[in-house]
Chain A
Amino acid sequence: MKHKNSPAAGTPAADKPAEVTAREQQPAAWQCIIDLPSERGISRLVTEPLLEHLGAHGWPPADIFSIHLAAEEAIVNAIVHGNKLDPNKKVHVECLISAELARVEITDEGAGFDPKAVPDCTSEERWEVPSGRGVMLMRTFMTRLEYNAKGNSVLMEKRRD
């Protein structure tokens, strides 16, 4: 059962144990909706504020690393493989960060792909192939990873342990 964050309605913070106070003083959930141009290196427009708000919501560094990695991989995939760096196509990103949940949804304007058709990068004959690890990393480092039927949109979630 997840602990739901509730405001300390009228209770003086000084009366609370330090840990509870820290938890209750978490800022409200942060939401971000942005359309990125299909350019290399543009992912930081999302990842920089994302990291900042994960920190502000008290996520531990290891989880922040995981979410950063998954978001980076997904945005690069959308720009390079989805939109094929087409300057006329955008990557639509929606983020929701609270103390318990990090959700990132990334949609490109490409033809989509079948994530099940990506070869297993951990099979021995593919160990030395220099690409094809992004989706696997996203799946490993997030709690939930789902593609839409077309395969041009991915929804990722990480829940705080």
Chain B
Amino acid sequence: MATYRRIDVSKLGEVSVVKFVDKKILEEAGIQELGAELFGLVELENRKTILLNFSGVEFLSSAALGKLITLDRKVKANKGRLKMSNIRPEIFEVFQVTKLNKVFDIRGEESEAIAAFTA
């Protein structure tokens, strides 16, 4: 089991639930490290079913969006599934204006996202 500094990973059935350690995800907050840890879930640990739970995340800049897009592509290439949940309204607006809400599978609460994996 890998050790992470930027994310907390727990297992709920088959789903790897990922929470973010930093409240503000921007360039200075070790975003390269965050990306490397997220990509490692797919490339090193071969996790197929991943939920990013954004509860506790108050701010996110476009540098973070880039990492999420790359993660989404890596998960899809690995024939896995990625969903996101618990995104606060201001951050959801960032996803909307950049049309990333059409790229990502975004659910309201964690329980809805978990249910959607098994549906």
Query: Residues of A at under 8 Å CB distance from B?
Result: 40-44, 61-62, 65-66, 68-69, 72-73, 76, 121-122, 127-131, 133-134, 136-137, 140
Please tell me if B116 contacts chain A, counting CB pairs below 8 Å: no
Which positions in B face A, CB cutoff 8 Å? 26-28, 59, 61-63, 65-67, 69-70, 72-73, 89-90, 94, 97-100, 102-103
Q: Which secondary structure dominates chain B's binding surface?
A: helix
Among the listed B72, B98, B103, which residue makes an inter-chain contact with A137, where contact means beta carbons less than 8 Å apart? B98
Instruction: Report the separation of the CA atoms of residues A44 and B94 in the bound assembly, to the nearest whole angstrom.
Output: 20
Contacts A128-B73, A137-B98: A65 and B90 contacting too (C-beta < 8 A)?
Answer: yes
What is the distance, in angstroms, from B74's C-beta to the closest C-beta of chain A? 11
Give the CA-CA distance A137 to B63 in the complex, in Å: 12
Give the residues in chain B near A137, CB-CB below 8 Å.
62, 94, 97-98
Chain A residue nearest to B32 (CB atoms) is: A40
A-B contact pairs, 15 of them (CB 8 A): A40-B27, A65-B90, A68-B59, A72-B27, A73-B62, A121-B98, A121-B99, A122-B99, A127-B100, A128-B72, A128-B73, A136-B97, A137-B97, A137-B98, A140-B97
